[in-house]
C-alpha cells in the first residue's frame, strides 16, 4: 500500500528496510536493507514510512527523525503513552514532522460530515455511537503477531482497530472524548502460533505439536465502550475482532439535536442524513466538499472511491505538510491522543469505573 | 390495539374503564366505567387488560387479581421493584396469572432466533448489542406524560423503551444479564406541557404562557449501556428517545463463536445470519418455526407480517395460558425482571460503576 | 385469509363451500357445502367470497350475483376476457357489486404514492418499471394446479402474479397502459404432478411413476415486458415464478421529471423518494395519508403493518361499497382491465410485436 | 483518469493532444499538441489513448495504428458499425492491438461472477436483467456534447451508457445476446447549449438568448430493452439518463436454474448470491478470485476498491496484452460488438419489432 501510494504521488522510493535482507529484497521496488541505521545513513531519505510492528514504531521513528527525515508512521503510533511522548519530542527536536496513518480520515465523506457538524447542520451533537467489528481473529486458534507479548502492549483490539474509531469520533465531531468506560472480553484466551504469514516470530508459550506454540494471551478481543464528549454528548460502541461476517465494519452514528448522520466504512461512498422526515442516502460527490478539500475526491458521484483513495489522501496531506504546505494531516499529536484514549479504556476496564481523559 | 386483538381472538369486550366516564365512552366498543372497583364488581371479567399510566399498573392489576381476573398488563409492569413484587404476590394469592405486554416477543423471527441460539447454531454466544432508538420526544419542548413526576419513576427512556430491548436480550439468548453499566444523558431538561394528546394531566411546574407548564425533569432521554451475560458474553447498546430519523428502531445484534445474527424490528420479516462467508438475509417463513410455534406465523415468506400480528401472538399466548394451555407467555416474573434490570441501570448511572443483578 | 378478515371486520361467516363436503368441513369455521347452488339457495348470503380455481371464478361469481349476493372474487378475476365481460354483465343485471382481491392496493404506501403522483410531487411521470419476482415454481419439477390445462388459460405467471403488478402501475400512476411488448420464456416445460397440496386434481399427461403425471405445459414462467403509458411514460419489467431467493418481490420504480419513487412489497412500510440530492427513505406513517384514507393505517411509524392489514383494507373498502358507502374499491372493471393487459401481453409475445390496449 | 493510470502503472506520458494547443497545455502532464498527425510523427508513442469525442474515435485510432501505436480507445468505440469495422481492419493491417475502455469489466466481482457462471454454480442461466440509470441529463434543459448532431450518431443513452450494460451481460454470462427488442423515449426533446463545460462546440440550432442555442434532438434519453441470449435466457432492462437520484446505477441481476446473482456498480465490493434459502451478501475478497486473476484485487475484504481500481485493471490488461502477455482485455472486437448491439436496439425501436443480432 505505502509503496503504491509513494509512486502514485510521484515520490521516489529509494530504499526498503526489512527484518532480513531477504525480506526487504522480496518486497522489491527499491534497494534492500536490514539495518535501519545504515539505511538512514547511506540514503538520507526525506521521508521515512514506518510500517514495522507496533512496538518498534517508536525506535524506528525516532531514528528516522534524528537522521533528519520526516516520518509517516503506521497506527497505532506506539504501544505506550511514554513512547508516544518520546516520538513527539524527537520530532520537535529534529524540527521534522511526524504523521500517523489514520487512513480512514482520508475518505471524502469523513470531511463532509466534519464540515456538516462544524457548520451546525446537525444541531448540537448529542450522541456518537457505532462500532468497529471485524473477524480478523475469529477462527478459534487463529494467531496474529499482535498476541505476542510486548508487540501491542496491554490491548489487542482497541490498539489495532479501536484506535481508528476513537480518532474518527474526535476528528469528525470536533469534540474531545473526556471520559471512557470500558468492558473488555477475552473470548479465545488460548491461541496457537504456527509461524504462518502475519503471525510474526515465535512467541514464548507451550509447545503445541508440529512446531506450534500455544499462547495464553490476556488481551481483549472485544471492547465495549461508553464515551462522553466535552460538550455532554454520549454514546456506546463495540470494537471486536471476533464478529462473524464483519470483514471491517466501521460505523459512525451521530445524533444532533436537529439531524443525525450515519457512515459505514464498508460503503464509504454514501452517508445517511437522518431527520424526523426520513433517512436521506447521500452519495459522495466532489461538489459536496469545501473548495479547499476538492482535491480529495476526483470522481463524479456514482463512481466508487475506495480505501486506496483514502489512504492516498492522508499520505498526500502528510507529505504536503512536510513540504511546507498548510494542509492539515493526522499528526503525531493525534497519534498520541489515540494512545491516551486506549490507555484510559484499558484502565477503565481494569478498575471497573469511568476514567477521565486529559 | 388491545380492543382489536380481543375481538380478533374471539374474546368479548365487556367493559372499558377510563379516567372519566366520558373518556371511556369516547373509547367506545363496550360499556364505559370510570371506577375500576365498580367495573370489576359489576362485570366480573375473566381477564383485565391494564393499559393505565405506568404508575397505576400495580394498583389496577392488584385490584383485578383480587377480583378473580387474570391480568394482561402493559409494560413496564410497574415503576418500582416493590410494586412489581406486590403484583406477583397478588397473582399468587389469587391463583391467577399475570402477563406483561412484551409485544416484540411475539414476532416469529424472535422465536426463530431463540431456537437457533438454543440449538447451538451460532455457537457460544459472545456478544449481544444493538439499540432502541426512537424520536418520540425529539422536538425541543415536546412533553409526554411520562415526564410528569411519579408516572415513570426514576427513568424515562429505559422504562418506556429500553425495558423491551433488555427483555429481548434475555429472552432470545436464554442468558441472564448479570451486570449492567449505564451512562445517562438528559439533553432537553426543560419541556413544556400544553395539555395535548399524550401529555397527561397538568404536571407541577412553572407557568409557561398560554396555559403551558414548563417542567424541569431529571430523567434520561438517552441511556448508553454495557451489559454482561451469565455465560460471559458482553455488549453495548444505546436507548434513546431523541434520535432523529428513528421512529422505532430496535436492533438485536448477536455474535456467537460460529455465526452472528441481526434483527431489526422495523424490518421484522427478515433476519441476517452472519458467518465468515457472508451475511445471509433470511426471510420469515412458517417453515422455519418449530412445529409447536407454527401458529405464530400464517403467511408464506414474502408476505409481511407486522406489529399487530406480533401483539396478537402475545395476547394469544397469555390468554391460552390463562385458559390452562401449556403455552409460554411473558409473565409478571418477566415484567419484574425488566424492573430489576432498569433499576440496576439507574443505580449504575448514578453511582458510576457496574451494578450486578440478582 | 378471507375467513380471518371476515371475522376481524365483524362479518358473520355463514357457509363454506368446497369441492367436496369433506374439504369444506375440514376448512371449518362455518356450515360446509359442496354445491354452490344449494349453498346460495339455502343461506342467501349477502356477500360471497369466490376463492375457487381461476377458471371457475366466472361460474361461481355469476351464480352468486344471480342469487342476489355481492361478490369479492380472488384474482385473476377470470381466465379470459369473455368470462370477465360475462361477470360484469351479471353484476350489472343483478344490481350487485363485484370486487377483485387486488390485495396489494391495500398497502397504505400505495395510496401515499398515488397521492404524491396525482398531486404532481414527482413531476410528469416518465418511467414506470420494476418487477414481480417469485420462486413459486423454482424447483425443477414443481407442479401447481395452474399448470393444468384450462385452469389459467393461456398464461401462468402473468395471470397469477403479473396481473398484480400491471394493476398497481395503472392504479398508482393514474395512467393507462396503452401498449405492451412481451417476451415469454418457458424454462421448465415438463413438470410432474404428484397430487400434493396445491397441485389440484390429476391433470392429463404422461405417467411418471409412483402415481405421478408428467405434464408438458406451454405456459410462461417468465415474462419480460415493455410498457407504454397514455402520457408517454415507458418502462420495462420482468415477472417470474422461477427467480431464486425472491419469495414475493414486487417492485414499483417510478421516475418523474422532478423526483422518483421506489416501493418494494417485501418492505411495505418504507418507500424511497429519489431526487438529484439523494434517496430519502420514508417510513409509512398515518400522518402521510389524506384524511379520508386515514382509516387504512392505524399504527405509528416504525411499527410494521403487513399483508393482512393490506388485505383487510381491500375487503373493508369492498364491503363498505357494497353497503352503500362511497369508498373506492378494486372493482370487476379493474379485474377486467387486468385480463385485457395480460391478453395483450400474450398476443404480443406470440406475434412478436407491440400490442395496443383499448 | 487516463493520465493517472498511465503514471500509476509505470508508463511515461510523452504527449497530450488537444483540440487546441491551449487545451492540451492546460491539461498539463506532458508536451502539448493540437495536431494528432504531428504528435504521432514526432513522438512515435508505443500506445495512444484515444479520449476524443465519440465520432472522432475512428479517425484518431486509425491514425495511431497506422503510425505503429497500439490504441486504448474510450467507449463507445465509434458511432457506427462501419467505423468500427474500419478500426478493426486498421489494427489488423498494422499488426497492433486495439482496446476499448470498458472500465466496469475491471471490477474484481465482475470476474468472480463470470467465474461462478462459467463454473456452473448458478445452474443454467435463465434471466439477465438490471438497469443503467443515471441523472446525467436530468435538468430540464441540460445540454451535453453528445446531443450535437453526428457526435453520437443515432443514439444518446444506449451509446453513452447502455453499451456498458450490454457488454457486461455478454462478458459475465459468456452468452451472446441474439435478439433485442427496444422501446425508446425522448422526454426532453429541446435542450439548450450554453457553451459550458461538457457541452462541446456550438451546435446548429435556434438562438435561445444570451448566446444559447436551442437544439431539437431526436435522441433517446431512456431505452427500455428486452433481450434474448443464445441459450434461451431472457430479460428486461432500462437505460436512462434522466432517472432522479441515480448518479450511476448499473445493476446486473441474473437468475440461474439453481441460484441468482445481483451486482450494483455503486456498491462494487459486494454481490448478492440468491438461493431458495435466502440472499447472501458476499464481500469482494482477493481469495474469491481465480489465481490468474489475483492481481486484480489487492485489498483484504472490507476495504473498498473503487472505479479507479477497476479502470486501472482494464488498462493494465490492455497494456499487458500489447506487450505480449497472454492476458485477456476488452478488445476492438468487443467494442464492435457493442456497436452492433446498440444498432440492433436502434432498429428495433424504429421498426417496432425484435431484431436479431449476428
Q: How many helices (H) and strands (E) does chain B have?
A: 10, 17
For the cut 90, the answer to whether the pLDDT of residue D303 exceeds it is: yes
**Distance of residue B280 Cα from the nearest chain D Cα, in angstroms:** 4
Cα(B132)–Cα(B222) distance, integer angstroms: 10
CA distances (Å), origin C76, targets C54, C83, C255, C330 = 7, 11, 28, 12
When scoring C187, C245, C272 by the number of chain D Cβ atoms within 10 A, the one with the most, hence best to mutate, is: C245
CA dihedral B32, C325, C51, B300 (to 10 degrees): -60
Could you give the 3-state DSSP secondary structure of residue D319?
A: helix
**Distance of residue B5 Cα from the nearest chain C Cα, in angstroms:** 9
- Computed over every residue of chain B, the mean pLDDT equals 95
Task: Determine, for residues D7 and A8 on separate chains, whether the beta-carbon distance falls below 8 Å.
Answer: yes
**Distance of residue D126 Cα from the nearest chain A Cα, in angstroms:** 29
- Cis-peptide, bond into residue D76, ω within 30° of zero: yes
- Tell me the pLDDT tens digit for each residue of B5-51: 777 777 888 999 998 999 888 887 789 999 999 999 999 999 999 99
pLDDT value at residue B269: 97
All residues of chain B having their beta carbon less than 8 Å from the beta carbon of residue A277 are 245
For residues D357 and D176, the answer to whether their CB atoms sit within 8 Å is yes
Task: Determine, for residues C278 and A279 on separate chains, whether the beta-carbon distance falls below 8 Å.
Answer: no
pLDDT value at residue C150: 86
- Computed over every residue of chain D, the mean pLDDT equals 95
pLDDT value at residue D2: 79
- Cis-peptide, bond into residue C76, ω within 30° of zero: yes
The 3 state secondary structure assigned to C169-227 is HHHHHCCCEEEEEEEEECCCCEEEECCCCCCCCCCCCEECCCCCEEEECCCCCEEEEEE
**How would you classify the pairing of strands D31-33 and D15-17?**
parallel
Q: How many helices (H) and strands (E) does chain A have?
A: 10, 17
Cα(D327)–Cα(D336) distance, integer angstroms: 20
Q: Which residue of B has its CA nearest to D273?
A: B280
Give the bridge partners for C237, in sequence order: C130, C225
D128 inside 8 A of chain C by CB: no
Cα(B246)–Cα(A276) distance, integer angstroms: 8
For the cut 80, the answer to whether the pLDDT of residue D47 exceeds it is: yes
CA dihedral C135, C139, C141, C144 (to 10 degrees): -40
Nearest to A296, CA basis, from A107, A121, A139: A107
Give the list of residues 6+ apart from residue C302 with CB closer than 8 angstroms, or none. Answer: B134, B246, B247, B248, B249, B265, B266, C283
Q: Cell 445471509, residue?
A: B280
Cell (9 digits) for A340: 491516551
**Average pLDDT estimate for D75-92:** 96
C256 inside 8 A of chain D by CB: yes
Cell (9 digits) for C96: 350487485
**H-assigned helices in chain D:** 2-8, 21-27, 36-43, 57-66, 81-94, 108-118, 157, 163-173, 307-322, 332-351
CA torsion through residues B265, B270, B275, B277, sign: negative
**Distance of residue D139 Cα from the nearest chain C Cα, in angstroms:** 9
Task: Determine, for residues A7 and D10 on separate chains, whether the beta-carbon distance falls below 8 Å.
Answer: yes
Give the bridge partners for B325, in sequence order: none
Cα(A214)–Cα(B147) distance, integer angstroms: 56
CA distances (Å), origin A171, targets A100, A175, C176, C244 = 14, 8, 54, 44
CA torsion through residues C137, C140, C145, C151, sign: positive
Q: Which helix (H) or strand (E) holds D229?
A: strand D222-229
When scoring D116, D279, D288, D301 by the number of chain B Cβ atoms within 10 A, the one with the most, hence best to mutate, is: D279
CA torsion through residues C111, C115, C117, C122, sign: negative
Given phi > 0 = left and psi -120 to 50 = alpha, else beta, which region is D81?
alpha
pLDDT value at residue A168: 98
For residues D290 and A281, the answer to whether their CB atoms sit within 8 Å is no
A276 inside 8 A of chain C by CB: no
- Tell me the pLDDT tens digit for each residue of A47-91: 999 999 999 999 999 999 999 999 999 999 999 999 999 999 999
All residues of chain A having their beta carbon less than 8 Å from the beta carbon of residue B272 are 245
- Tell me the pLDDT tens digit for each residue of C194-236: 999 999 999 999 999 999 999 999 999 999 999 999 999 999 9
Tens digit of pLDDT at every position of chain A (358 positions): 777 777 777 788 899 999 899 988 888 778 999 999 999 999 999 999 999 999 999 999 999 999 999 999 999 999 999 999 999 999 999 999 999 999 999 999 999 999 999 999 999 999 999 999 999 999 998 999 999 988 988 999 999 999 999 999 999 999 999 999 999 999 999 999 999 999 999 999 999 999 999 999 999 999 999 999 999 999 999 999 999 999 999 999 999 999 999 999 999 999 999 999 999 999 999 988 988 899 999 899 999 999 999 999 999 999 999 998 878 999 999 999 999 999 999 999 999 999 999 8
Nearest to C2, CA basis, from C230, C232, C314: C314
| Identity of the residue in A10, A248, A298 whose CB atom sits nearest the CB atom of D302 | A248
Nearest to C1, CA basis, from C305, C277, C310: C310
CA torsion through residues C151, C155, C156, C157, sign: negative
Eight-state DSSP code of residue D120? T
D242 inside 8 A of chain C by CB: yes
For residues B267 and B247, the answer to whether their CB atoms sit within 8 Å is no
Range of weakest confidence among B195-199, B336-340, D166-170: B195-199
For the cut 80, the answer to whether the pLDDT of residue D8 exceeds it is: no
The 3 state secondary structure assigned to chain C is CHHHHHHHCCCCCCEEECCCHHHHHHHCCCEEECCHHHHHHHHCCCEEEECCCHHHHHHHHHHHHHCCCEEEECCCCCCCHHHHHHHHHHHHHHCCCEEECCHHHHCHHHHHHHHHHHCCCCCCEEEEEEEEECCCCCCCCCCCHHHCCCCCCCCCHHHHHHHHHHHHHHHHHCCCEEEEEEEEECCCCEEEECCCCCCCCCCCCEECCCCCEEEECCCCCEEEEEEEECCCCEEEEEEECCCCCCCCEEEEEEEECCCEEEEECCCCCEEEEEECCEEEEEECCHHHCCHHHHHHCCCCCCCCCCHHHHHHHHHHHHHHHHCCCCCCCCEHHHHHHHHHHHHHHHHHHHHCCCEECC
Nearest to C276, CA basis, from D219, A260, A290, A301: A301
All residues of chain C having their beta carbon less than 8 Å from the beta carbon of residue D272 are 245
Q: Write down which chains contact chain A via at least 3 CB pairs under 8 A.
A: B, C, D
D13 inside 8 A of chain A by CB: no
Chain-centre distance for alpha carbon C85 = 18
**Distance of residue D255 Cα from the nearest chain B Cα, in angstroms:** 17
Q: C-contacting residues of B 19-48, CB under 8 Å?
A: none
Tens digit of pLDDT at every position of chain C (358 positions): 777 777 777 788 899 999 899 988 888 778 999 999 999 999 999 999 999 999 999 999 999 999 999 999 999 999 999 999 999 999 999 999 999 999 999 999 999 999 999 999 999 999 999 999 999 999 998 999 999 988 988 999 999 999 999 999 999 999 999 999 999 999 999 999 999 999 999 999 999 999 999 999 999 999 999 999 999 999 999 999 999 999 999 999 999 999 999 999 999 999 999 999 999 999 999 988 988 899 999 899 999 999 999 999 999 999 999 998 878 999 999 999 999 999 999 999 999 999 999 8
A280 inside 8 A of chain C by CB: yes
Concatenated DSSP letters of B45-96: -SEEEE-S-GGGHHHHHHHHHHTT-EEEEPSSS-SSHHHHHHHHHHHHHHT-
Nearest to C223, CA basis, from D336, B289, D129, B305: D129
Q: How many helices (H) and strands (E) does chain D have?
A: 10, 17
Cα(A258)–Cα(A126) distance, integer angstroms: 10
Q: Which helix (H) or strand (E) holds A221?
A: none
Task: Determine, for residues B308 and C308 on separate chains, whether the beta-carbon distance falls below 8 Å.
Answer: yes
All residues of chain D having their beta carbon less than 8 Å from the beta carbon of residue B282 are 277-278
Cα(D150)–Cα(D136) distance, integer angstroms: 20
Q: Which residue of D has its CA nearest to B283?
A: D278
- Tell me the pLDDT tens digit for each residue of B101-135: 999 999 999 999 999 999 999 999 999 999 999 99
For residues D188 and D137, the answer to whether their CB atoms sit within 8 Å is yes
All residues of chain B having their beta carbon less than 8 Å from the beta carbon of residue A135 are 276
C240 inside 8 A of chain D by CB: yes
pLDDT value at residue B8: 75
Q: Which helix (H) or strand (E) holds A131?
A: strand A125-133
Q: Write down which chains contact chain B via at least 3 CB pairs under 8 A.
A: A, C, D
**Average pLDDT estimate for B206-219:** 95
Cα(A315)–Cα(A99) distance, integer angstroms: 9
pLDDT value at residue B23: 87
Cell (9 digits) for C49: 367470497
Give the bridge partners for D11, in sequence order: none
Cell (9 digits) for B337: 425482571
Could you give the 3-state DSSP secondary structure of residue B332?
A: helix
Cell (9 digits) for B198: 399524550
**Distance of residue C281 Cα from the nearest chain B Cα, in angstroms:** 10
All residues of chain A having their beta carbon less than 8 Å from the beta carbon of residue B276 are 135, 138-139, 244-245
Q: Which residue of B has its CA nearest to D284?
A: B278
For the cut 80, the answer to whether the pLDDT of residue D349 exceeds it is: yes
Task: Determine, for residues B185 and A234 on separate chains, whether the beta-carbon distance falls below 8 Å.
Answer: yes
Q: Which residue of C has its CA nearest to A283?
A: C278
pLDDT value at residue D184: 98
B198 inside 8 A of chain C by CB: no
**How would you classify the pairing of strands A190-193 and A125-133?**
unpaired
| Identity of the residue in C126, C222, C279 whose CB atom sits nearest the CB atom of D126 | C222
When scoring C244, C248, C276, C282 by the number of chain D Cβ atoms within 10 A, the one with the most, hence best to mutate, is: C244
Task: Determine, for residues C280 and A280 on separate chains, whether the beta-carbon distance falls below 8 Å.
Answer: yes
For residues D165 and D157, the answer to whether their CB atoms sit within 8 Å is no
B309 inside 8 A of chain C by CB: yes
When scoring D236, D251, D254, D275 by the number of chain C Cβ atoms within 10 A, the one with the most, hence best to mutate, is: D236
Cell (9 digits) for A22: 531477504
B197 inside 8 A of chain C by CB: no
All residues of chain C having their beta carbon less than 8 Å from the beta carbon of residue B300 are 247-248
B317 inside 8 A of chain A by CB: no
For residues D162 and D223, the answer to whether their CB atoms sit within 8 Å is yes
Give the list of residues 6+ apart from residue C109 with CB closer than 8 angstroms, or none. Answer: C263, C268, C269, C270, C271, C284
Entry pTM: 0.96
For the cut 90, the answer to whether the pLDDT of residue B153 exceeds it is: no
Task: Determine, for residues A280 and C282 on separate chains, whether the beta-carbon distance falls below 8 Å.
Answer: no
A126 inside 8 A of chain C by CB: no
- Tell me the pLDDT tens digit for each residue of D89-145: 999 999 999 999 999 999 999 999 999 999 999 999 999 999 999 999 999 989 999
Amino acid at each position: 500500500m505505502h509503496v503504491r501510494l509513494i509512486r502514485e504521488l510521484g515520490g521516489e522510493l529509494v530504499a526498503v528496510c526489512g527484518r532480513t535482507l531477504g525480506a526487504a529484497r522480496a518486497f522489491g521496488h527499491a534497494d534492500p536493507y536490514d539495518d535501519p541505521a545504515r539505511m538512514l545513513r547511506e540514503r538520507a531519505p526525506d521521508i521515512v514510512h514506518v510500517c514495522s510492528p507496533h512496538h518498534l514504531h517508536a525506535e524506528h521513528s525516532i531514528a528516522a527523525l534524528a537522521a533528519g527525515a520526516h516520518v509517516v508512521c503506521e497506527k497505532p503510533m506506539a504501544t505506550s503513552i511514554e513512547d508516544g511522548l518520546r516520538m513527539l519530542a524527537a520530532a520537535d527536536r529534529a524540527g521534522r514532522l511526524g504523521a500517523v496513518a489514520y487512513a480512514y480520515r482520508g475518505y471524502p465523506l469523513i470531511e463532509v460530515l466534519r464540515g456538516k457538524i462544524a457548520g451546525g447542520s446537525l444541531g448540537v451533537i448529542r450522541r456518537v455511537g457505532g462500532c468497529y467489528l471485524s473477524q480478523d481473529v475469529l477462527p478459534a486458534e487463529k494467531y496474529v503477531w499482535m498476541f505476542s507479548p510486548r508487540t501491542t502492549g496491554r490491548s489487542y483490539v482497541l490498539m489495532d482497530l479501536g484506535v481508528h474509531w476513537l480518532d474518527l469520533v474526535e476528528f469528525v465531531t470536533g469534540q474531545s472524548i473526556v471520559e471512557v468506560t470500558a468492558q473488555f472480553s477475552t473470548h479465545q484466551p488460548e491461541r496457537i502460533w504456527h509461524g504462518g504469514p502475519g503471525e510474526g516470530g515465535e512467541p514464548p508459550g507451550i509447545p503445541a505439536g508440529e512446531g506450534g506454540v500455544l499462547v495464553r494471551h490476556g488481551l481483549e478481543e472485544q471492547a465495549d465502550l461508553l464515551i462522553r464528549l466535552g460538550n455532554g454528548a454520549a454514546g456506546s460502541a463495540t470494537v471486536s475482532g471476533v464478529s462473524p461476517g464483519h470483514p471491517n465494519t466501521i460505523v459512525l452514528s451521530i445524533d444532533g439535536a436537529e439531524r443525525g448522520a450515519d457512515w459505514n466504512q464498508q460503503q464509504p461512498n454514501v452517508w445517511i442524513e437522518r431527520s424526523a422526515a426520513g433517512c436521506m442516502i447521500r452519495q459522495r460527490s466532489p461538489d459536496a466538499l469545501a473548495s479547499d478539500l476538492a482535491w480529495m475526491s476526483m470522481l463524479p458521484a456514482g463512481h466508487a472511491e475506495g480505501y486506496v483513495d483514502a489512504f492516498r489522501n492522508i499520505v498526500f496531506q502528510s507529505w504536503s505538510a512536510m513540504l511546507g504546505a498548510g494542509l492539515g494531516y493526522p499528526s503525531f499529536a493525534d497519534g498520541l491522543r489515540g494512545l491516551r484514549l486506549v490507555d484510559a479504556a484499558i484502565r477503565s476496564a481494569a478498575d471497573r469505573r469511568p476514567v477521565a481523559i486529559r
